[in-house]
Structure 1
Amino acid sequence: MTLDEAIASGSYLEILRAQRREVVAALPGEKGPALAALHRQLSLLSKEIAALELKDAEDTGGGADVDDEEFDAAAI
Structure 2
Amino acid sequence: MLASTASNSHNWGDEVVVFNALSGATHLLDHAAGQILEKLQQSPGDAKSLAAILADVWNVEIDDDLVRYVRDVLISLHALSLIERV
Give TM class, smaller chain.
0.3 to 0.5
TM-score, normalised via structure 1 length = 0.33
- Which is strand-richer, 1 or 2? 2
Length-normalised TM-score, structure 2: 0.31
Q: Larger Cα Rg: Structure 1 or Structure 2?
A: 1
- Higher relative contact order by CA 8 Å / sep ≥ 6: 1 or 2? 2
